Every structure is written in C-alpha cells, then in structure tokens.
Amino acid sequence: MGEKRLLVKGSPPAPLDRELTVVGMPLNRRDGLEKVTGQAKYSSDLHMPGMLHGKILRCPHLRARITRIDASRAEILPGVRAVLTKENTKGWRTYWYEIPQIALPECLTYEGQEVAVVAAEDVDTAQRALDLIEIEYETLEPMIDMEEVLKNPPPPCVADEEYPGRDLFDRKPFILRRGDVEKGFGEADLTLEETYTTPTQYHASIQTRACVANWDGQNLIVWDSTQGVWNSKGSLAKSFGLDPDQVRVIVEHLGGGFGSKAWAHRISFFAAKLSMATKRPVKMEQSREEEFLNHPHRYNSKITLRMGAKKDGTLTATYEKVFLNIGAAANRHNYNANGIIWQTSNLYACPNVHLEQIGVFTNLQLTGPTRSPFNMPAIFPLECHMDKMAGALGLDPLEFRLKNYSTYASTHVKAELREKEMKISYSSKKLDECMKKVTEAIGWERRKALSCFCQGPKRKGIGMAAFIAHQGGGIFPNTAHADVSIHPDGSINLYIGVVDIGGGQKTILAMIAAEELGVALDDITLISGDTEGTRYAPSCHSSRCTAEMGPPILQAAAQARQKLFEIAARFLHVTAEELASKNGEIYVRSNPGVSMPVRTICSNIDPDNPIWGSGSREINPEDPIFSSFGAQAVELEVDVETGGIKILRVTAAQDFGKAINPKLCLSQIVGGIVEFGVGFALTEEGIYDAKTGKMLNPNLHQYRLPTSLDVPHVDAFLVESQEPHFAFSARGGAELTNTPTPAAIRNALYNAIGIWLNDLPLTSEKILTALRAKHEER
Amino acid sequence: MAKRRLGLIVNGRQREAEIDVRLTLAEFLREVLGLTGTKVGCNRGECGSCTVVMDGKAVYSCSIPAVEAAGKTVLTIEGLAEKGGKLHPIQEAFLNEDALQCGFCTPGMIMSAKALLDSNPTPTETEIKTAVGGNLCRCGCFQNIVKAVSVASGKMAAREGSSDG
C-alpha cells in the first residue's frame, strides 16, 4: 500500500494535532437564508436589459433526415432577431458532455434533438416563429430494442457519420475474467440463474435548465444552471474556437442537477450562438417536456446473473451478462464500459468469474450521469440474487453476505488496470459494520416471524442490500485547485470554482478552510460558482467535490495560516513552528495561555501584499483504491388486494470516511433514498411507444416522483473511518446513497409475500399479476 | 393582444398594472413585479414550486390567470418575513432543520406550510404530509420538512400563547 498522505501536490501540511472545532459540527447550510426568503437567484430568475428570448424547434422522430428546411417566414416575423438552422451553422459543433457533435445536423438520432433555434424580443414571438419554420423529414426505422439492434444491426446511415460516440459503435462486449468459471460451477452445490431488468430513470430536477448568455464582441459570459462552471467554460470555448480566458461561466444557485447538468448542456451553446448573432443577451429556459425529451437519463438494463455456491454458502462462480441501453449519445466520458461488472467483480469474494458488459447504441434519447448511474443497475441484480441464493441454501441473507465478505478488490478502478485480476486494498472498508448496523436497527430477528404476518390484506416483510461504489473523484481531468487570501481587515477569502448543487458545498468546503485556519465558519468569505477569480475545479458530480476539493483547500488554508503565524511569531516571541490556532486565536502550542486574536495579527499584514495560500490536488494513487460502501434495510407492508407497497421504514449506514458536517451529510443520505431509491424501486420509468419509440410520459404527472405521502422514515447512520488521504477523512458519498434501496425493497417484498420480482419498478400491477400466478399454481 | 387593468394586494401592498390577459399569476409576480422568489418548475400544476397563498389558500400560481387574482390578497415568499427581516418561524425552522437542499422547491413548500398552519395551527404528521403533497422535492427533504413544519407549529403556538397571556 502506498504512503498514507493527503492527496496534494508538493508536501502535505502536518495534520492538526488538536481537537476539531468546526469540522464535525452539525452547522446550518450557509445559503439557507437566501433560499428560505426567496432571495436566492437561479439562472431562470435573471433578467438583463435588452435581453432576447430563445426557443428551440425539436425533431419529433427518433431517427430521421431533414430533406427540406425553410426558415424564411420565421426570419421576417416582426420581433425575430435570429434563426439558426443547419443551413447557416455548417461546421459548428457543440461539446455537450465533451462530445463533439454537429450542433444542428441534417440527420437526427433521437426525439427532441434540435433542428432550429430562434431568438426574439419575447418568448411568445420566438414560439410563433418556430411554427413558421417549414421542415420535411425522411423518417428512418428507429433502433429501440437493445437485443434486436444487436441481432440485426441496421446499416449505418448518414446520421451515423455524426453519431456521437460512434467509436463505441462496435457493439462488442467488455469482459472481466478470473479463475475458471466452468470449474467453479462444477464445484457448486447450488447454481441459480435469473434475468433482471431496470428501467430508464430521469433526474426531474425541479429547476429546468435555464441560462442567459451575453457576447460583447470580445468576451462571452454565461449565467448558467450547470453543476460545473469550469467544465462548461472549457466546452463553450472549444465550441466557438475562443481562448478559455474569453469565456466566463457563473452559477449563483442551482435548482438540482443529479448528474443531468454535470457538463455544459445544449441550450448554453445555442444561447451563446444567438447572442453572438444578435449582439444582445439571450435567455433560454427549457420547458418541463423539453427537460424530459432532451435529457441524458439513466441507462436501462437487462442483466442475466448466474451464481454457484457450496452448501455452506461459499460462492464458487459468478457469470453475468449485461446489456445496457446507451441511447443516442454517449462516449467514454459518460459511458463506462465496465461500470456494472466492476461492482459485481468486487462486492463479494468469488474465485471464478466471467462478467460481460455490452453497451448498445439506440435512438432512445440521450443517456448520461444520473445519481449513481451504474451503481443502481449493478447492485439491483446482484443484491437480489444474493437473497435468492441465500434462500435456496437455507441461509440467512445477512450471514450469506458476511460469509462471502471481501476485504480487498479484485478489479482495479483505473481503466488501464481493469482487465488484470489483482488483489488490491481499499483505503478503508467498513461494510460489515454497516450491514450489522442496519439489520440490528430494523429488527432483523423479526424477519422470519414477519413472513407469516397476515392482517386482513396486509403482509409485512424486511429485506436488506449492501453496495460498493467507486465515486469520489480522482477521475478526468484529475485536477482541482483552491486559494485562500487573508487581508489586513481580518477578512479571509476562499476561492473555489465549484457550484453548490444543494449538497452543501458552500458550507462544507468553507468549514474545511475554517478548521485548518483556526477560525469560525462565519469568518470565511466564499468566492465560488464563478470561473472568474477561481482556478480549475471539478464539476460537482460523481460525489467528487469534497474528495477532490478538500485536500487543496486544506493545503491552501495551511499555507496561508503558516504565513500568518510568521507575523504572529514576532509578537508572541516564539517561532512560527511553535504556534497553533483555534477559535479565532493564535496561541503558543506549549503554553496556550499565550495568545493573540487572528484579527489582531491580520492588522499587521501589508495592505499591498495580502497573504495568499494555494492548493492543488494530486491524482489518486494506484494503491489503495478509495471506494465507498453502505447497506440498507427496509421494512414494508404490502396490500395483497391492491398490490400497493407502503414502505414503513428504512435504515441506512454509509461508510464515506468522515462527515465534515453530519447534518448535511445525513440529509444527503435520506434524500437519495427517498427520491432516487424509492422512486426507481416503485414508480419511476420512462414509457416509450413500442413502435415509434416516442416518450409517452414526459411530464411530472405521468412520470411519478415519490411525494411527501409516499416516502418512508429513514434512520441514517454514519460509520466513520480514518482517511489520511482526504481533508479531515472526508471521502465522497452523497450521490450513491440511493444505490441499494431498490434491492432492499425487493428483498423485503419477497419476505412479505414469498414472490421474487426481477423487474423494476415494482408496480402494483406486477405484484397483483405475480400473486395471481402464484395462486393459480396452487 | 388583449390587455386588462389588474388590481390586487401582494405582500400587504396594493399593486396595479395593465397586463396581457394571458399572463399567469406566476408570470405576473415574477415578470411584472420582479418577485422571483416564486419559482416555476413545470408550468402545468404538477410540481408545486409556484405555490403562493391567495386569500388564505395555497394555490399553484402557474395555473391561475393573473386576472383571476383581481381584488384578492396574495402572499409570496418575499412577504413572509417580518418587517426588519426577522424570519417567520416556518423559515427559521426550515433553516434549522435543514429542510432544503437545492432550494428551488423551498418557497412553494414554505407557502404550502404557511397556508396549513394558518388554518390548522397544530397539524398532525399526516396533515403536514398531505398539505405539502402537491409540492415535489427531488432532493428528498420531506423528512426534515415535516419536522420543520411541526417545530414551527410549536413555536407559533407558544408565541400565540405568550401574546394571549
């Protein structure tokens, strides 16, 4: 195992050898006041003088070619200032998710793809202009069903020339192997095979995408709704051939993202182009329907899993075949070729595995990061199968999991090391503690008795599931920076180019700086969500923000503090090395009674030369790897007459290292479970017309998110561990909290009614059909 | 396009404007009065982020023509804090109980809670859940929202009690 040191470039600061006074405190989020008073400004709230409004004409077909487009009637409509079509934007590419893609192509590959864009004096005129654009399509047979596409691959059409991610168009599987899987099945006393399916899932952020772009002839400013201002800046610069210094991206507040806004999104490019064409600021805001159609949803999957085990429960072999619907756009940045079989390879110890994953390009909309993108389709089949295996072996599901507990990883997370079998340590793994904690908290011992519970039409059950997830950064582009300045008036600024997406980044990242400086959180002024005044910072996705920004923030703060100590040393008559700081005081370590307020020392800073501290993140080492773990248990009630499930309670334990702010960390856990977890399990799925592939439920009425009346009570626990590589031991973890929820619900459902269901969502219709079939069997 | 004169009370202040009759109440509040605290998440009465209190009732302002609010009294998130900026107990409880994450649904959520507590000062947990049942929160803050409304209810009752005595 490599040296356990803070992941920063250069020499890491020594750990604070004192009690913590800010980190670990359940403080209120810093932007809460603006949010509860309605003062928080989101990009959709902005209005600028002379601002135009942009609207998009979208393709109604899944696969089509434009045979004629005539925008002349739209162009002469009074109030219209610019119309963009393929005719006047030839060669222009956007870089949505870093994918070079013809902005307005002739061949369209998904429903909702842009075919024309209009800027007008008001929304109404822009909308009317869209109706005046004459367009004719030649429609092509859409690719919808994954297996059908693989069996009969349609010949590439012209569209495929520009098909995003066509480098992955070979439709070949990625394979992970170790041991001898045939021999492993030969040694097994029990072999079980099942096929599981998971649906598409949509982010449904309550704020739809919106932005205002302003090109002044020299510089482009975009007030955006992206999760990463630096990512967006880079992509916009590339799209317009600008120097990155000419592009500034600002996000003051963001109304949800969950991965959907991880990179520059398509309207930002169009708004910028329209502003360049009109020399005026242009605002674009997506409707809820557009948010569904033009949207990178979660891949749907079909997964076959076969496992073999000895009578005592020891796993001998695992075979898995994964089909993943990549939809109409993806590349290596948002499609990870082994993002599902990696989890299967590592969660449990199994000597013989053969795991295959194949991503299939279809015309079923865009796909991309969605709160724990691969982890949910990975863990659902695996944790369902573990329960079925345990049942068939007559073992307790918890004991069966602990029997096959793995203390090390067999497949590395780094792409270039993945195909090799290895034995590599985790920086920490307390999954066993998590499993014990959640089962104890739910009352696992009641499980057997509950399977006989019968009160009128009500049945009850308990189930569990565990997970491994590799989130938390150290991924492309493998860098992150932070800066701290201290001024004579006592003000302390923290400059970080990150966006608070609701996870509390403005609060927890400032807490890291405050702790390291030895001051209160309120003493830190934050400059964030803006590419001006900050250096490159990651987008807040993949739970990477705390894990990637923590170390450089700590380094920058420590460096600034050291410079402050050098001034203080003159007044306290000791060397800077003998000083420490806490609660706004700088004191002599060996004699804490000798101290001076930080503010007083600051007054001696040269006004022309304020103190600066800088920090930069080092990339993750090869050894150990930093994965996050957790387990959940669910108690539910099923009505066998209606098929309705009521989830009574969820217990959740997560091993994320340590929480900088437990209050906000617990909110992340609960939030992930009740929305993306319960929703994926019970109600959420994109529904598409079987023939045309068009989405039938692109609204919040028919695409059903859990409401206040559906969500269960969650008891969440933090199982903490030491992580010297990260700032105050904080690894990433927020996005993955929903990962095991659907499997735990499905396993509890079995405990209640004795039926295994393998297809999400677990609708009342599926439950009733299964109950009827079981009844007829008897 | 047809225009009409509209008069109503918003956050305690009489407002008059000549408006396009097609404007929704949400558009009137946001675009004419500049009160952008009221959010629009779907513009078809599904998400609840546009909720305001009109004549004592929580309503979806995206689904009400502004002209229908003529002569009525509307309260938005901007009008909730007391003069001098002191937070309303509901706002304070949302902040302390961490009943928000991204904050986009928060104004609508708080206005639904306000209408509930005005008509039912001591609601049960089920009554609170029902009152915000039409307000979606994709960050999943419901557990803390229910707690916050309950804390605010207790605080308002105590305040009521002390002013009576």
**Both tokens assigned to A65:** 């070619």
Three-state DSSP state, B37: coil
Name which of A15-24, A125-134, A321-330, A447-456 the model is least confident about. A321-330
Residue A668: its H or E element: helix A662-672
Indicate the residue among B29, B55, B79 that finishes a domain.
B79
Name which of A76-85, A230-239, A305-314, A450-459 the model is least confident about. A450-459
**Residues 106-125, chain B, touching A (beta carbon < 8 A):** 106-107, 110
Distance of CA A336 to CAs A314, A341, A547, Å?
Answer: 30, 10, 20
Indicate the residue among B79, B107, B138 that finishes a domain.
B79
At residue A311, the pLDDT reads 98
Q: Is A185 left (phi over 0), alpha (psi -120 to 50) or beta?
A: alpha
B62 and B14, same domain (yes or no): yes
Q: How many domains does chain B have?
A: 2
Q: Which domains does chain A have, with CATH numbers?
A: 32-40+474-616 (3.30.365.10), 43-141+209-285 (3.90.1170.50), 297-473+623-777 (3.30.365.10)
pLDDT digits (tens, 9 = 90+) for A314-328: 999 999 999 999 888
B84 part of a folded domain: no
**Residues 545-574, chain A, touching B (beta carbon < 8 A):** none
**The domain that contains B126 carries what CATH number?**
1.10.150.120
B69 and B7, same domain (yes or no): yes
Quick check: B44 contacting A, CB < 8 Å?
A: yes
For residue B132, give the nearest of A31, A40, A708 by CB distance: A708
B107 and B71, same domain (yes or no): no
B123 and B153, same domain (yes or no): yes
Quick check: B100 contacting A, CB < 8 Å?
A: yes
Comparing alpha-carbon positions, the chain B residue that sits nearest to A43 is B36
The average pLDDT across A509-526 equals 98
**What is the rounded CA–CA span in Å between residue A189 and residue A178?**
20
Distance from CA of A69 to the nearest CA of B (A): 30
CB contacts, 8 Å: A714 with chain B:
143
Distance from CA of B121 to the nearest CA of A (A): 19
> Does the pLDDT at position A168 exceed 80?
no
Q: Are A220 and A236 in contact (CB under 8 A)?
A: yes
**What is the rounded CA–CA span in Å between residue B112 and residue B66?**
19
At residue A160, the pLDDT reads 44
Task: Give the DSSP letter of residue A660.
Answer: S
Q: Is the CB of A709 less than 8 angstroms away from the CB of B129?
A: yes
At residue B142, the pLDDT reads 98
Residues 6+ apart with CB under 8 A from B45: B60, B62, B63
Q: At what angle do helices A662-672 and B142-164 cross, to 10 degrees?
A: 120
Strand ranges of the sheet holding B57-60, from the earlier edge strand across to the other edge: B13-20, B3-10, B73-75, B51-54, B57-60
B55 part of a folded domain: yes
Q: Are A497 and A226 in contact (CB under 8 A)?
A: no
Range of the domain at B17: 3-79
Where residue A416 falls among pLDDT bands split at 50, 70, 90? Answer: confident
For residue B101, give the nearest of A38, A45, A502 by CB distance: A502
B47 and B68, same domain (yes or no): yes
Indicate the residue among B28, B44, B79 that finishes a domain.
B79
Q: Is A161 left (phi over 0), alpha (psi -120 to 50) or beta?
A: alpha
**What is the rounded CA–CA span in Å between residue A568 and residue A574?**
9
At residue A332, the pLDDT reads 55
The average pLDDT across A450-460 equals 91
For residue B87, give the nearest of A36, A204, A504 by CB distance: A36
B75 part of a folded domain: yes
Comparing alpha-carbon positions, the chain B residue that sits nearest to A227 is B102
B50 and B93, same domain (yes or no): no
**What is the rounded CA–CA span in Å between residue B131 and residue B154?**
17
Where residue A164 falls among pLDDT bands split at 50, 70, 90? Answer: low
CB contacts, 8 Å: A30 with chain B:
none
Residue that wins the pLDDT comparison between A131 and A147: A131
B100 and B33, same domain (yes or no): no
CB contacts, 8 Å: B114 with chain A:
none
B69 and B93, same domain (yes or no): no
B66 and B94, same domain (yes or no): no
E-state strands within A487-602: 492-496, 524-528, 579-582, 585-588, 591-597
**The domain that contains B73 carries what CATH number?**
3.10.20.30
Check if the interface score ipTM surpasses 0.90. yes
B97 and B147, same domain (yes or no): yes
**DSSP letter string, B90-148:** HHHHHHHTT--SS-SSHHHHHHHHHHHHHH-SS--HHHHHHHTTT---TT--HHHHHHH
Quick check: B24 contacting A, CB < 8 Å?
A: no
Three-state DSSP state, A140: coil
B144 part of a folded domain: yes
Percent share of chain A, pLDDT over 70: 96
**What is the rounded CA–CA span in Å between residue A269 and residue A277?**
12
Tens of each residue's pLDDT in chain B, 165 residues: 799 999 999 999 999 999 999 999 999 999 999 999 999 999 999 999 999 999 999 999 999 999 999 999 999 999 999 888 899 999 999 999 999 999 999 999 999 999 999 999 999 999 999 999 999 999 999 999 999 999 999 999 888 777 544
Residue with structure tokens 């009570």? Answer: A713
**Residue A631: CA count within 13 A, CB half-sphere:** 25
What is the value of pTM for the model shown? 0.96
**What is the rounded CA–CA span in Å between residue A305 and residue A379?**
12
B19 part of a folded domain: yes
B65 and B115, same domain (yes or no): no
B37 part of a folded domain: yes
For residue A36, give the nearest of B36, B91, B133 by CB distance: B91
B94 and B136, same domain (yes or no): yes
B30 part of a folded domain: yes
Name B150's bridge partners: none
